[in-house]
A and B are shown apart, each in its own frame.
Chain A
């Protein structure tokens, strides 16, 4: 080790004294030196570890944490990776998960984004491999890491996409609790679009309503006060989540500064329509559903998507048979499929569509993933 640090010093002095020594050569030699030093340290470290197997785990953690705190990031990262492979082959999942979680956080707290995100991704891999279904324990932890990875770092998406996929085990959409946590992280970042998207898969109608009010009043038009809530209620219903649909509607209408009043009926017809629709779903009476759709047609037509959603809602809650043209596809069939496949399950056919802006593309990716 002494030799190598001496070697580095020689290299650096060479750089100062000899004008013919290229900058890149020095960089390469220095980098190589760091690698070799780390390798030797690791070897010593594992000999040490094997010798004291009993107290091994806690000692390992302590050593790694100190390594990060001292700023030896490269070395620490290599150690984490080495131990990761070691523990994985021994199926020491509990220790491994704990180590990766603490390590990822520690790196991120020292703004070592690449190392932090790398460990975070490994963490999700271990959750998958260990077949853990402890969503209540891991959701807050994963969200804590997610919030600390910087938004412009692409591995962030990889991490959270994999986490959602892990939590979707046995289902199509990812765990509602995890979606709720992700929505909150996005909301803190004022990323309303992504927050809204994840609330749709959560069961947090209260949070969703609060978010929608903030989103609508800051970025929507005043003519859209009723549309924002209608859109999300109909989408919840397409996802068969009438409980959260109702909760979101009740909270939104109660707390929105321009709608807020003691209760229904509302001044805006569309709000009455949704209020009646939610009750009709309880009764499952098709004739009531039909009357509502007829009487409120002018309001329903304000957003061309609503008719499509209501078709689906009729099928889910009122036993309406899907029209044959829709099954065959056609323009509207395809359109509906593109939405519902995003919401429901299966793959979708959106991948061929070129998005016009990057934010839209991100949203599409998210839709595909769920």
Chain B
């Protein structure tokens, strides 16, 4: 990553830039989120839980 090659680089500490850039790449390859477990759903606010589940 060339520091300053994108406008957002100047808005974060310099040592974050390579990590964020790498994560951007990784996220592009990310598969869609599988359905949530009941355990995870139990942490959601009740109304949303019903919509997602």
Interface residues in chain A, defined as those with a beta carbon under 8 Å from any beta carbon in chain B: 192-193, 196, 215-216, 219-221, 223-224, 227-228, 231-232, 235, 265, 269, 272-273, 276, 285, 287-288, 290-292, 294-296, 298-299, 302-305, 334-335, 338-339, 342, 350, 353, 355-356, 359-360, 363-364, 367
Q: Which of A224, A292, A350, A363 contacts B36 (CB 8 A)?
A: A224
Q: Which of B16, B23, B38, B42 contacts A363 (CB 8 A)?
A: B42
| Nearest CB on A from B21, distance (A) | 9
B3 at the interface (CB under 8 A from A): no
B2 at the interface (CB under 8 A from A): no
Closest to A289 in B: B11
B1 at the interface (CB under 8 A from A): no
State A356–B52 Cα separation when bound (angstroms): 14
Query: Could you show 11 A-B contacts with beta carbons less than 8 Å apart?
Result: A196-B43, A219-B39, A221-B37, A224-B37, A287-B11, A291-B12, A295-B20, A299-B23, A302-B33, A304-B48, A359-B42
State A350–B47 Cα separation when bound (angstroms): 8
The answer on a CB contact under 8 Å between A294 and B8 is: yes
Task: List chain B residues, Cβ under 8 A from A235.
Answer: 43
Known A-B contacts A338-B45, A338-B46; the reply to A295 vs B23 at CB < 8 A is yes
Task: List chain B residues, Cβ under 8 A from A219.
Answer: 37-39
The answer on a CB contact under 8 Å between B8 and A295 is: yes
State A253–B12 Cα separation when bound (angstroms): 23
Closest to B50 in A: A356
| Nearest CB on B from A87, distance (A) | 42
The answer on a CB contact under 8 Å between A290 and B11 is: yes
Known A-B contacts A295-B23, A295-B24, A299-B27; the reply to A355 vs B33 at CB < 8 A is no
| Nearest CB on B from A147, distance (A) | 22
Closest to B29 in A: A298
Task: List chain B residues, Cβ under 8 A from A350.
Answer: 46-47
Chain B interface size band reads 20 to 34
Closest to A360 in B: B46
Task: List chain A residues, Cβ under 8 A from B45.
Answer: 305, 335, 338-339, 342, 367
**Contact residues, B17-44 vs A (CB, 8 A):** 19-20, 23-24, 26-28, 30, 33-34, 36-40, 42-44
State A338–B45 Cα separation when bound (angstroms): 7
State A107–B47 Cα separation when bound (angstroms): 40
Interface residues in chain B, defined as those with a beta carbon under 8 Å from any beta carbon in chain A: 8, 11-12, 16, 19-20, 23-24, 26-28, 30, 33-34, 36-40, 42-52
Task: List chain B residues, Cβ under 8 A from A302.
Answer: 33
| Nearest CB on B from A261, distance (A) | 14
Task: List chain B residues, Cβ under 8 A from A360.
Answer: 42, 46, 49
Q: Which of B27, B28, B39 contacts A215 (CB 8 A)?
A: B39
The answer on a CB contact under 8 Å between A192 and B39 is: yes
Most chain-A Cβ atoms within 10 A of its Cβ — which of B12, B26, B51, B52? B12
The answer on a CB contact under 8 Å between B27 and A223 is: no
The answer on a CB contact under 8 Å between A364 and B33 is: no
| Nearest CB on B from A37, distance (A) | 50
Task: List chain A residues, Cβ under 8 A from B43.
Answer: 193, 196, 228, 231-232, 235
Closest to B32 in A: A302
Task: List chain B residues, Cβ under 8 A from A364.
Answer: 46
Task: List chain A residues, Cβ under 8 A from B12.
Answer: 276, 288, 291-292
Task: List chain A residues, Cβ under 8 A from B19.
Answer: 265, 272
Task: List chain A residues, Cβ under 8 A from B46.
Answer: 338, 350, 353, 355, 360, 363-364, 367
State A346–B39 Cα separation when bound (angstroms): 27
| Nearest CB on A from B23, distance (A) | 4
State A276–B33 Cα separation when bound (angstroms): 22
Closest to B15 in A: A265
Identify 10 new A-B residue pairs, CB closer than 8 A, beyond the known A302-B33, A334-B47: A193-B42, A220-B37, A224-B36, A265-B19, A269-B30, A303-B44, A335-B45, A350-B46, A355-B46, A359-B42
| Nearest CB on B from A340, distance (A) | 8
